[in-house]
Amino acid sequence: QKEVEQNSGPLSVPEGAIASLNCTYSDRGSQSFFWYRQYSGKSPELIMFIYSNGDKEDGRFTAQLNKASQYVSLLIRDSQPSDSATYLCAVNRATGGFKTIFGAGTRLFVKA
Amino acid sequence: DAGVTQSPTHLIKTRGQHVTLRCSPISGHKSVSWYQQVLGQGPQFIFQYYEKEERGRGNFPDRFSARQFPNYSSELNVNALLLGDSALYLCASSRDDLGNTIYFGEGSWLTVV
């Protein structure tokens, strides 16, 4: 079992729709959770982080965390073609020392 | 303030050679992590350093080594390069080693031929 699992996609949504990206993790001791966006040929850039159960909103982005289910999600409202990228879920686990582990990423395509 | 800076940006090496990649963290950040990203995969954790000490090591062979200097900059060294080492090598910095957000540099693209 991978430590951080994401559906590789591609996920295709029309412009203006809501894109829903999901992630599960295996280490119950994980404390910090992150979403990064990576455009082709570029390095990952931070979108959001979340530490507590529930929702956290930042503009068009909402991160959701459910530690009991070991589940993290990212919602992108009013999706734009410029949102087309790979979205990486990352988990900072405490077991064996703090380190940030990434999923394989979900490719998102927003169709104009 | 400058972000994380990495050098070189691109390089081509021959199998069996050695490579050194360099990273300067964001000012005020004391922790540096190194990741390898192969096309189509997420970043794979290689090392984390904090205050010049290794705080974490991923599942990579001993050909990979790193160190952190007193000014918190870092080097990643890879010996006896293999074709499979071709990847984007990412450096990330964070304030400390307690699970805070990591910020990436632009990466070093390594091609082994």
Span B43-54, average pLDDT: 94
pLDDT of residue A94: 72
Span B1-30, average pLDDT: 95
Residue found by looking up tokens 């530490």 in the block:
A51
- The minimum CA-CA distance between A44 and chain B, rounded to whole Å, is 7
Which residues from A are below 8 Å from B41, CB to CB?
104-105
Reported confidence tier of residue B1, pLDDT bands at 50, 70, 90: low
- Minimum Cα–Cα distance from A89: chain B residue: B42
Residue B27 has pLDDT above 70, yes or no: yes
pLDDT of residue A96: 64
- At B14 the three-state DSSP class reads coil
Q: How far apart are CA A15 and CA A10, in angstroms?
A: 15
Span B38-67, average pLDDT: 94
Residue B62 has pLDDT above 80, yes or no: yes
- At B28 the three-state DSSP class reads coil
Reported confidence tier of residue B17, pLDDT bands at 50, 70, 90: very high
One digit per residue, pLDDT tens: chain A, 112 residues?
789 999 888 999 999 999 999 999 998 888 899 999 999 999 999 999 999 999 999 999 999 999 999 999 999 999 999 999 999 999 987 766 678 999 999 999 999 9
Q: How far apart are CA A5 and CA B41, in angstroms?
A: 12
Residue B84 has pLDDT above 80, yes or no: yes
Q: How many Cβ atoms from other residues are within 10 Å of residue B60's Cβ? A: 16
Q: How far apart are CA B108 and CA B104, in angstroms?
A: 11
Q: How far apart are CA B109 and CA A36, in angstroms?
A: 19
Burial B14-37 (b: 16+ CB within 10 A, else e): eeeeebebbbbbbeebbbbbbbbb
CB contact under 8 A, B48 and A99: yes
Which residues from A are below 8 Å from B58, CB to CB?
99
Reported confidence tier of residue B99, pLDDT bands at 50, 70, 90: confident
- Strand ranges (E), chain A: 4-6, 11-14, 19-25, 32-38, 45-50, 54-58, 61-66, 71-76, 85-93, 99-102, 106-111
Residue found by looking up tokens 């304030």 in the block:
B95
Span B80-84, average pLDDT: 98
Q: How far apart are CA B99 and CA A100, in angstroms?
A: 7
pLDDT of residue B13: 98
The residues with which B6 forms a beta bridge, in sequence order, are: B23
- The minimum CA-CA distance between B88 and chain A, rounded to whole Å, is 9
Question: Is the preceding peptide bond at B8 cis, omega within 30 degrees of 0?
Answer: yes
pLDDT of residue A93: 79
Which residues from A are below 8 Å from B95, CB to CB?
none
